[in-house]
């Protein structure tokens, strides 16, 4: 039996993620008290008609004492051999969360007459830290549309084979900030920049003229080889530590040319080695 815990701050997209899993056959439960998770697992295992795929949402609406106990609960469940359990934690920048709440005019679950929205969002981050620190995968939804988030959950979570590791390469531009959800971040701004060539500037690293330009550079190919060797060396260690997801960030200045080309190149090199390889270009998805 496979159990996926969805968590994250209010407004980060938890409901959308849970609905995406429900659409592909998961039995979903929203706002489950954390301390009831072991009982739910036992009930499902003892039921002959149990659902083999379960997704539960656990968030700041829980009792605070339950949230503090979450790491111990997860440790006991992860020690079991009859289930596979993982945590996907969603988050977004505080400015984005404020904007989303202002647009919907919903009341934050932690706000009241004494606690304003901005304070509630910060408080929620602290309350959910025991879950966030235990997460197998973090998803930064700051720049994701609802459709992009649904696709991310379906591709990385729902389609991941049990015991297999999901590897995602994510290109980004440093001038827009480093993504919140990367496990490793490689800075490729030292490489030749197609931006300074007028005919290449409006293109991206997925276009043939840019690919040809970058492929002709020994430095670019050396960088790709070095990153590949690093990942090849350390991926087995993630697997032995029961990590289900790894996200590798590749950053250049604007996230249009070098980072896109290198992320695509690395994804292509690993496609024959692993079952679940994803590539995302943060700045190209805007």
Query: Which is nearest to 22 in space by CA: 59, 47, 55?
Result: 55
Whether residues 124 and 141 share a domain: the answer is yes
Look at the chain and report how many structural domains it folds into: 2
Whether residues 48 and 181 share a domain: the answer is no
Picking from 131, 159, 187, the residue at the C-terminal end of a domain is: 159
Q: Residue 163 pLDDT more than 80? A: no
Whether residues 37 and 116 share a domain: the answer is yes
State residue 140 phi and psi, 5-degree precision: -85, 110
Whether residues 152 and 179 share a domain: the answer is no
Whether residues 194 and 271 share a domain: the answer is yes
Picking from 123, 143, 159, the residue at the C-terminal end of a domain is: 159
- What pLDDT does residue 105 have? 73
Whether residues 205 and 242 share a domain: the answer is yes
Whether residues 216 and 128 share a domain: the answer is no
Whether residues 153 and 181 share a domain: the answer is no
Whether residues 144 and 205 share a domain: the answer is no
Domain span holding position 46:
2-159
- Strand pairing report for 166-173 and 184-187: unpaired
pLDDT tens track for 77-119: 999 988 989 999 999 999 999 998 878 777 888 888 888 888 9
Whether residues 150 and 178 share a domain: the answer is no
Picking from 159, 193, 224, the residue at the C-terminal end of a domain is: 159
Query: Domain holding 33: CATH number?
Result: 3.40.50.300
Whether residues 73 and 179 share a domain: the answer is no
The per-residue pLDDT of the chain, averaged, comes to 92
Query: Which is nearest to 265 in space by CA: 210, 193, 199, 198?
Result: 210
Whether residues 246 and 140 share a domain: the answer is no
Average pLDDT of span 112-134: 90
């Amino acid at each position: 039996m496979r159990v996926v815990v969805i968590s994250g701050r209010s407004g980060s997209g938890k409901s959308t993620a849970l609905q995406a899993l429900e659409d592909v056959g998961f039995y979903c439960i929203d706002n489950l008290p954390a301390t009831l998770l072991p009982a739910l697992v036992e009930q499902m295992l003892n039921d002959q008609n149990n659902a083999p795929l379960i997704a539960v949402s656990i968030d700041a609406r829980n009792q605070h004492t339950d949230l503090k106990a979450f790491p111990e609960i997860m440790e006991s469940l992860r020690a079991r051999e009859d289930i596979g359990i993982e945590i996907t934690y969603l988050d977004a920048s505080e400015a984005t969360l404020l904007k989303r709440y202002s647009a919907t005019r919903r009341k934050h679950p932690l706000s009241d007459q004494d606690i304003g929205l901005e304070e509630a969002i910060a408080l929620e981050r602290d309350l959910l830290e025991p879950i966030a620190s235990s997460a197998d995968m973090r998803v930064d939804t700051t720049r994701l549309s609802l459709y992009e988030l649904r696709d991310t959950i379906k591709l990385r979570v729902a389609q991941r084979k049990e015991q297999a590791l999901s590897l995602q390469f994510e290109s980004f531009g440093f001038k827009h900030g480093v993504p919140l959800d990367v496990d490793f971040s490689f800075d490729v701004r030292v490489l030749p920049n197609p931006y300074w060539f007028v005919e290449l500037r409006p293109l991206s690293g997925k276009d043939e003229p840019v690919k040809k330009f970058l492929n002709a550079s020994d430095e670019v190919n050396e960088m790709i080889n070095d990153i590949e060797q690093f990942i090849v060396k350390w991926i087995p260690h993630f697997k032995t530590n029961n990590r289900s997801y790894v996200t590798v960030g590749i950053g250049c200045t604007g996230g249009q040319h070098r980072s896109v080309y290198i992320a695509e190149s690395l994804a292509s090199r690993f496609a024959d080695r692993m079952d679940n390889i994803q590539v995302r270009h943060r700045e190209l998805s805007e």
